[in-house]
């Protein structure tokens, strides 16, 4: 028999997993790139902060010099372009400074000359690292890059440490970062050391991380949702195919039986016997009745859980109804079935749906006989307990595996041994629907190869 090929589940799972992994890799790469960019940006900002700090400190120190030291006259003597030298003589009341370039490559601009003059001028001023540290903190606050740091002051000529803020940040570990050295004056340079600024980077990446997390969650949810849809379509296709197979099997046997008898009846010699003719007609009628019952069963069980159906409640004798169901099975089944019943004497007139509740009990008994061993024993009890009617149907049949128990009430679901009997997978889901219609429930206890016990529980109503 032709069956539509269904998309391989393993391929789908691999595709889903790969898609999520690709998204994760892309997001990780994007975050690493963003982190690297912000890390370089912060390094540049720390360099700028130190330059700004040094400039402010030098300006403050220069402003503290005596006014006569601030009045500087400059005289530049430029020789011709091939002369390769420049003399700049700076005469003040306190200092005579001479700047000389020793090669043409080291020509100084006026700004550089002024910077050198300032360096000479403040060289002998008292050095205060606390003031330098205070300026550095203010600059970093303004730039919103404040972190733990150390300022180290070195000798310009010997690179010897002269002073430090001593916050214990400076060490030789790989987690410590540093700026380049900046000139404080002609005798001192300063350098800043700081710890790995990861916390600052992540703080600045907060909105980016939140956006990335939301995108990632949405993508994973979308992939998972698509996977669920494909799985559902796969299940629907499987159920449809199983239903067609089951219907074909169920309808084929009674039709073939009726056709076989009809072919025999075409024989004139066979029709001469009234007794044979009567048996043949009876057999055809039985087969057609089986088809009619099958179609009626499908119509009854093909309900929709989405629609609520109000039961047609009537007063009836539940004992008599169950006895009639048992009698019908005893007459129709070739296999011998031993019924053991117990009825609570307090249950006489009960209100229930006279069509659906008997059909639900009939489904349970039918399953017990279909999926039974050679000797069939079915125990049926009806008891009243705490204003609830409990109708129990137990058997000594094949039972249900523990892994299948949560699924047996799903529409069209069939356990392994039920597939061999070509059932439609509608019976137990219909029974559960009838219980809910009566505002009750159904419970099952089962041991594989030992038997099952189904209990229908509905509220007791007698008026």
Q: Give the three-class secondary structure for 169.
A: coil
pLDDT on residue 313: 86
pLDDT on residue 92: 39
Degrees to nearest 5, angle at CA 283 with 278 and 289: 125
Span 298-308, pLDDT tens digits: 666 555 554 45
pLDDT on residue 457: 94
Average pLDDT of the residues of the chain: 76
Q: Of the given ranges (204-208, 212-216, 349-353), which has the lowest mean pLDDT?
A: 204-208
Contact by Cβ (8 Å): 378, 442: no
pLDDT on residue 138: 92
A 10 A CB-CB count for 375 gives 10
Mean pLDDT confidence for 112-128: 78
Q: Give the three-class secondary structure for 369.
A: helix
Write out the E strands in 255-348. 314-317, 337-343
Residue 382 parent element (H or E): strand 376-385
- What domains sit in the chain, N to C, each tagged with a CATH number? 9-203 (no CATH), 206-301 (1.10.287), 314-459 (3.30.565.10)
Span 330-370, pLDDT tens digits: 666 667 788 999 998 877 788 898 888 888 898 899 888 88
Indicate whether this model's pTM tops 0.75: no
Buried b (16+ CB within 10 A) or exposed e, 286-322: ebeebeeeeeebeeebebeeeeeeebeeeebebbebb
């Amino acid at each position: 028999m032709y069956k539509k090929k269904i998309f391989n589940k393993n391929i789908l799972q691999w595709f889903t997993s790969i898609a999520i992994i690709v998204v994760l890799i892309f997001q990780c790469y994007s975050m690493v790139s963003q982190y690297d960019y912000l890390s370089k940006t912060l390094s540049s900002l720390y360099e700028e902060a130190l330059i700004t700090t040094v400039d402010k400190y030098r300006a403050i120190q220069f402003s503290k010099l005596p006014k006569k030291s601030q009045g500087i006259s400059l005289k530049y003597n430029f020789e011709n372009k091939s002369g390769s030298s420049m003399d700049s003589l700076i005469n003040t009341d306190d200092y005579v400074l001479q700047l000389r370039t020793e090669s043409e490559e080291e020509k100084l601009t006026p700004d550089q000359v002024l910077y050198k003059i300032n360096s000479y001028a403040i060289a002998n001023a008292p050095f205060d690292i606390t003031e330098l540290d205070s300026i550095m903190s203010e600059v970093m606050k303004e730039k919103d890059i404040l972190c733990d740091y150390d300022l180290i002051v070195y000798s310009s000529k010997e690179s010897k440490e002269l002073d430090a803020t001593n916050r214990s940040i400076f060490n030789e570990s790989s987690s410590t970062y540093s700026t380049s050295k900046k000139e404080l004056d002609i005798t001192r340079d300063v350098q800043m050391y700081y710890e790995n600024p990861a916390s600052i980077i992540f703080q600045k990446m907060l909105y980016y991380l939140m956006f990335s997390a939301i995108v990632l969650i949405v993508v994973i949810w979308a992939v998972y949702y698509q996977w669920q849809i494909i799985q559902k379509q796969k299940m629907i296709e499987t159920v449809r195919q199983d239903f067609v197979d089951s219907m074909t099997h169920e309808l084929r046997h009674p039709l073939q039986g009726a056709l076989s008898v009809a072919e025999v009846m075409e024989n004139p010699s066979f029709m001469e016997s009234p007794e044979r003719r009567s048996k043949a007609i009876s057999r055809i009628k039985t087969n057609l009745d089986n088809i009619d019952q099958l179609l009626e069963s499908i119509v009854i069980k093909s309900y929709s859980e989405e629609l609520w159906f109000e039961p047609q409640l009537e007063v009836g004798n539940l004992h008599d109804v169950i006895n009639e169901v048992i009698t019908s099975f005893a007459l129709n089944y070739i296999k011998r079935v031993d019924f053991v019943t117990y009825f609570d004497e307090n249950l006489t007139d009960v209100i229930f749906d006279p069509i659906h509740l008997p059909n639900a009990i009939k489904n349970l008994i039918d399953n017990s006989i279909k999926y039974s061993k050679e000797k069939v024993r079915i125990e049926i009890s009806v008891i009243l307990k705490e204003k609830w009617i409990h109708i129990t149907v137990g058997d000594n049949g094949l039972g249900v595996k523990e892994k299948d128990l949560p699924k047996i009430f799903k529409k069209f679901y069939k356990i392994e041994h039920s597939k061999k009997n070509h059932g439609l997978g509608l019976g137990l889901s219909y029974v559960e629907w009838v219980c809910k219609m009566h505002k009750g429930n159904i419970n099952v206890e089962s041991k594989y190869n030992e038997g099952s016990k189904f209990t229908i529980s509905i509220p007791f109503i007698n008026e």
